[in-house]
Amino acid sequence: MRNLFVTIIAILCLAGMTTQAQADNSIDQADVEFYLNRYPSGRYLAEASSTLKLIKVEGAQGPVMIPAMVPIPGKNYEIGKYEVTQAEWREVMGSNPSKFSNCGDTCPVEKVSWDDAQGFIQKLNAKTGRQYRLPTEAEWEYACYGGSQSEYCGGNDVDAVAWTDSKGNEQTHPVGQKQANGYGLYDMSGNVMEWTNDCWEGNCARRVFRGGSWINDPWGTRASYRISFGTAIRNGSGGFRLARTIP
């Protein structure tokens, strides 16, 4: 899986083993407690890369993946730090539908419909015991601005924050390479368009995409830009990021 899980960052067990290794993207203590409570028999092994956390617990059916999430200040939800990657999709679904599969594990998954995203989320929730979902359009937009109004998600310099048709070389790029916005979220403008949960003008056969992609010019990657597609449509410029209501 091309060095996806490169750093073992924690080995704990219910009896109180201490952390034996540490990485920059460490597993939160809340995650440790959640999974030890869910699988009380449990030995707990966590590995992390820049975009996902893989948790293996005795008693669980296969590895449990924890996406990197960012709580939004003053709100009751968190949102994915990155767009869902090809590696994350494959961990859950066992396949990779992406047009740009040669881009690599840390590139965003694309060619996934709104319906496909729902299938991924359903399986992820069954594995993790948590309730991930797509963000609403309002949640997405609030998170995009990162605490300050700007032309794009993270600033007014499109090349600093987004992969567009002028600098994208006609394909996707690994997540997290551009400048983050004020909340620490990457690629909310450009790279791939992101599905939201909202119906388009009351028509739920169509859902809203936000953020624009590598195929759009800068105008199409503005923070305010919106477009819709049918829920079964797949294309090489469309992906998504996760959200979760914080209990």
pLDDT digits (tens, 9 = 90+) for 187-222: 999 999 999 999 999 999 999 999 999 999 999 999
Question: Do 169 and 232 reside in the same domain of the chain?
Answer: yes
Same-domain check for residues 14 and 102: no
When pLDDT is cut at 50, 70 and 90, the band that residue 10 belongs to is very low
Least confident of 54-63, 93-102, 111-120, 177-186: 54-63
Q: Are residues 101 and 52 in the same domain?
A: no
Q: Are residues 97 and 6 in the same domain?
A: no
> Quick one: 48 and 82 in the same domain?
no
Residues 26 and 19: their CA atoms lie apart, in Å, by: 10
Do residues 223 and 129 both lie within one domain?
yes
pLDDT at 24: 37
**Total tally of structural domains belonging to the chain:** 2
**Model confidence at 2, in pLDDT bands (50, 70, 90)?**
very low
79 and 197 together in one domain: yes
Residues 226 and 160 in one domain: yes
Confidence of residue 27 (pLDDT cuts 50, 70, 90): low
Residues 116 and 238 in one domain: yes
Q: What is the pLDDT of residues 116-168, one digit of tens each?
A: 999 999 999 998 889 999 999 999 999 999 999 999 999 999 999 999 998 76
Same domain flag for 86 and 163: yes
End-of-domain residue from the set 67, 96, 112: 67
Strands (E), the chain: 7-13, 43-48, 52-57, 64-67, 69-71, 77-80, 132-133, 193-200, 203-210, 226-230, 238-239, 243-245
Question: What's residue 122's pLDDT?
Answer: 97
The better pLDDT of the pair 30, 149 is held by 149
- Tell me what pLDDT residue 58 has: 62
User: Residue 124's domain is classified under what CATH number?
Assistant: 3.90.1580.10
Beta strands in 31-76 (DSSP E): 43-48, 52-57, 64-67, 69-71
Yes or no: say if 137 and 208 are a contact pair by the CB < 8 Å rule. Answer: yes
pLDDT value of residue 1: 38
Q: Tell me which residue has tokens 């690629």.
A: 187
Residues 63 and 121 in one domain: no
Tokens at 208, concatenated? 């809203």
Give residue 3's pLDDT band: very low, low, confident or very high (50, 70, 90).
very low
Which domain, by its residues, includes 44? 1-67
Q: What are phi and psi of 116, to 5 degrees?
A: -60, -40
The last residue of a domain, from among 67, 82, 98 = 67
Provide the whole-model pTM: 0.84
Q: Where does a domain end: 67, 89, 117?
A: 67
Percentage of the residues of the chain whose pLDDT score is greater than 70: 77
pLDDT of residue 190: 96
Whether the CB-CB separation of 145 and 138 falls below 8 Å is answered with no
Q: Do 79 and 44 fall into the same domain?
A: no
Strands 238-239 and 193-200, sheet pairing: parallel
Q: How do 7-13 and 69-71 pair as beta strands?
A: unpaired
Percent of the chain whose predicted confidence (pLDDT) is above 90: 68
